[in-house]
Amino acid sequence: MAHDLVIRNGTVVDGSGLGSFRADVAVTDGIIAEVGRVADRGGRELDAEGHVVTPGFIDGHTHMDAQVFWDPTGSSSCWHGVTSAVMGNCGFTLAPVRSNERALVVRNLERAEDIDPAALAAGIDWSFETFPEYLDAVESLPKGIHFAANIGHSALRTWAMGERAFEEEADADDLTLMAGQLREALAAGAIGFTTSRTQHHETSDGRPVASRLASWDEVAALVGVLGDTGIGIFEGADAGMSDPDPDLRSRALDRMTQLAVDTGVPMTFGLVATRNAGYLIDFLDQSAARGARMIAQTHCRGISVLLSLKTRLPFDLLPVWTDLRSRPLEEQISVLADPVRRRPFVDAAVHADYAGYAGVGAQARPPDFEGIRVYLHGLPPNPSVADVARDRGVHPAEAMIDLCVSSGGNQLFIQPSLYPQDETVLLRALRHPRAVMTFSDSGAHLSQIADSSIHTHLLGHWARDRGEFTLEEAVRMVTLEPALAWGLHSKGLLRPGMDADLNVFDPDTVGPAVPSLVDDLPAGGRRLEQRAVGFLATVVAGHITIEGGIPTGATPGRLLRTGRR
């Protein structure tokens, strides 16, 4: 056979944003060999009639640094066409780490990223200390998708400073130690350096994560290492850029721009498209005019937390609910299903004074029943709890409780986060040439958020159902654009000579499925899993890894080590 794989009769959407065309795609030795009329046969032939064939999707913002050790498939990203994922964002990584201080790394991760410490303890082979050793460990693992890794500031600080990383600024010796390890990480293939200065990133004991204790001079010195080596991208979570004080915010934006200009380092940050976030879109162009390269990471829907009886509900902090929620699920359902025994819980939920009850980050918050949606369909529209209550003639709190009971605790609800998206700002951000649609946070917030599906949400909702983007535009947004932003130069285009990371899906049906709760973390922990519909196959490095929604067992994924840009 001339080729390992030939995908026939599909419509090629090549990632460039240019018009689609009907063609066959041939793959040999993990590389796209031909695009067009392929005469030679393949060792495996796939009929893509009625489907589009695209490059594999790239996610530039994940936290799969730990999950990669126990999950070779890359779930849930793999179900949504992601074939390459960048991990180690927001300053959170597992390395560098001293063998007698692993608890410090866990302290940074467990609350800020909602990663179960029991899973971290049971699921990771802690065979590494330095970041190069961590990269070697990841490279040796079986992987269904490719990974690139940033080195995180919080881990770097705790490795250099120990407990002092949570208490004080670094001294000259600390900074020298950090800079040396950062250089080694970049030389070994780290794709960049990341930090967090956002108030929402706290440890389990309520302290700031280690990177938040750093002075701006420390941040600038470490970014300067990237500039000196000519390697890597800098990602910063907040860094004061969203401060409510306009003067402080302006100074933060200015110093970020100046650092980018002085070092020549490309920089990226998350842009949550709220009503007041337009200034960040303007900042992209303003900083570019000064010679900086700024890349915003956007989301394609409102960031939301998922609620359920099995996880958390807005009623959980009400005193009368506290004891009930500590009991086994079966007992909770039994109580709430009984007309008499449920009364005090319904009354408390209906008449509660939620003043002062505010969630941090992705935590549940007081209920807005008009805003909370009942998760019935993978794509909008989904009815609000208030809609269901009006149909049933009951209070929304009672309707929510009834749905929990009738589903056996499985019904999920979508609660908008503290920062609901503004559609006008969102579309402006998604269309901006210096913004990339990414920011799934996959691998983190495992019991609260299911945003691995943003790629299929973009395709199904914004491109197909709403018509805000052509299919070609939407595919470019999740392929070539992130490939260029993160320097993955052999990915993002379906052209001969490029890596054979591919998706084959039905554009008329592609979209996310409704998530479900599964108990498959190491040590039996629970997480949200969200699959997709409409995919015929996903190909990684020339191997079919998922076919008809079922993993094939192939693990051809590689560690993507960066080089000089």
Q: Is the pLDDT of residue 134 over 70?
A: yes
The pLDDT of 57-67, averaged and rounded, is 96
For the ranges 1-5, 165-169, 413-417, the one whose mean pLDDT is highest: 165-169
**Architecture in CATH for domain 57-304+419-527:** Alpha-Beta Barrel (3.20)
Q: Is the pLDDT of residue 98 over 60?
A: yes
Copy the structure tokens of residue 98.
């001293």
Question: 7, 471 in Cβ contact below 8 A?
Answer: no
Count helices and strands (H / E) in the chain: 17, 24
CA–CA distance from 66 to each of 88, 155, 162 (Å)? 10, 13, 21
Confidence category of residue 121, pLDDT binned at 50, 70, 90: confident
Q: Is the pLDDT of residue 363 over 60?
A: no
| Angle at which helices 423-431 and 278-289 cross, to 10° | 30
Smallest CA-to-CA distance from 552 within 564, 528, 535 is with 535
**pTM score of the predicted model:** 0.96
Instruction: Tell me the domain boundaries of the chain.
Output: 57-304+419-527, 305-415
For the ranges 66-75, 114-123, 202-211, 240-249, the one whose mean pLDDT is highest: 66-75
Q: In this predicted structure, what is the pLDDT of residue 113?
A: 67
Report the range of poorest mean pLDDT among 313-322, 341-350, 442-451, 531-540.
442-451
Q: In this predicted structure, what is the pLDDT of residue 444?
A: 84
- Quick: pLDDT tens for 193-251: 999 987 777 777 778 899 999 999 999 999 999 999 999 999 997 766 776 778 888 88
For the chain, what is the mean pLDDT? 93
- CA-to-CA distance for 82 and 531, rounded, in angstroms? 12
Q: Is the pLDDT of residue 93 over 70?
A: yes
What is the percent of the chain where pLDDT is above 70? 96
- Quick: pLDDT tens for 265-283: 999 999 989 888 899 999 9
- Quick: pLDDT tens for 467-506: 999 999 999 999 999 999 999 999 999 999 999 999 999 9
- CA-to-CA distance for 435 and 417, rounded, in angstroms? 22
Q: In this predicted structure, what is the pLDDT of residue 360?
A: 56
Largest CA distance in the chain: 73
For 167, phi and psi rounded to 5 degrees?
-130, -25
Q: In this predicted structure, what is the pLDDT of residue 556?
A: 98
The pLDDT of 86-102, averaged and rounded, is 95
Where do we find the tokens 């402080």? 248
Q: What is the DSSP string of 199-236?
A: TT-B-TTSPBPGGGGS-HHHHHHHHHHHHHHT--EEEE
